[in-house]
Chain A
Amino acid sequence: AQRVTQPEKLLSVFKGAPVELKCNYSYSGSPELFWYVQYSRQRLQLLLRHISRESIKGFTADLNKGETSFHLKKPFAQEEDSAMYYCALSLYNFNKFYFGSGTKLNVKP
C-alpha cells in the first residue's frame, strides 16, 4: 500500500525564520512526489514536483530515497507562505495520487 505521512498538523514560525515541512512515504516502487498548497480561499495548486528539481517561491524539496522522505524547505519564511501544504505521491502513470494529512503553516509577523 502507498502511504504518505506528514507528522506535523501545525507549524508556526516567525517571518524570516527557516521552515521545513516534513513528508515521509512508504512505497515499494519508484514514486513521483509532489507538494501541493492551498492558500486561504484559493484552490489546491501544485507547488513543486521532484522530477522537475525546481524551486518555486523559494521552496525546495529533495527526494531522499534512503530515508523515504520529501521534506519541503524554505530558508526565510514570508507571511504570504501561510497556507495548508500537502505532500502527495503518485504512481508512475499519474492516474492515482495519495495525499498526506496536510500541514498548516502559520508565519507570524
Chain B
Amino acid sequence: NAGVTQTPKFQVLKTGQSMTLQCAQDMNHEYMSWYRQDPGMGLRLIHYSVGAGITDQGEVPNGYNVSRSTTEDFPLRLLSAAPSQTSVYFCASNSGTGAGGELFFGEGSRLTVL
C-alpha cells in the first residue's frame, strides 16, 4: 500500500521556469491538498480539492495551478518559478468526515528556485 506518492523528491529550477509536482494516492480519498513548509511558518495550504473536477484556493495560491481530473491524481503546477517559491511541498489526502479527518502525507518535494 503506497499511500501518497510525490515526485520528484528534489528539484532545482531557474527563475521563470515551469514545472509540475506530481501527487498520487491509492486510498480512494476524496480530499487532496497541497501545502508548503517554510521555516518558522509551518505548513500553509496552497490549493485543495474535494473531489474529481473540484478545486479551490487555500491560503497561498498565487503562482500555482492545480487540476483534479481523477480521484487518484492532484498535480501542482508552478507556472513561472520565483525564488520565493523555494520551499518543501507536501501533498496530503484524507477521506473527510468518515475517518475523523486524518491527513495522510507524502514524503515531500524539496524545490529550490535560483
- Which A residues lie at the B interface, using CB under 8 A? 4, 6, 9, 32, 34, 36, 43-46, 49, 51-52, 86, 88, 90, 92-102
- Which B residues lie at the A interface, using CB under 8 A? 31, 33, 35, 40-45, 48, 50, 58-59, 90, 92, 94, 96-97, 100-103, 105-108
User: A11 → chain B, closest Cβ, in Å?
Assistant: 15
Instruction: Decide if B101 touches A98 in the complex (CB within 8 Å).
Output: no
Instruction: Decide if B96 touches A94 in the complex (CB within 8 Å).
Output: yes
- Please, which residues of chain B bring their CB within 8 A of the CB of A34? 101-103
Given the contacts A36-B103, A45-B105, A93 and B45 also touching, CB distance less than 8 Å: no
Which one of A9, A43, A49, A101 contacts B100 once the chains associate, using CB atoms below 8 Å?
A49
Q: Which residue of B lies closest to A46 (CB)?
A: B102
* Extra 19 A-B pairs, beta carbons < 8 Å, given A44-B103, A93-B96, A93-B97: A6-B42, A9-B40, A43-B105, A43-B106, A43-B107, A43-B108, A44-B90, A44-B105, A52-B100, A86-B42, A88-B103, A94-B31, A95-B50, A96-B48, A97-B92, A98-B45, A99-B35, A99-B44, A102-B42
- Please, which residues of chain B bring their CB within 8 A of the CB of A93? 96-97
Given the contacts A43-B106, A52-B100, A95 and B40 also touching, CB distance less than 8 Å: no
Q: Which residue of B lies closest to A51 (CB)?
A: B100
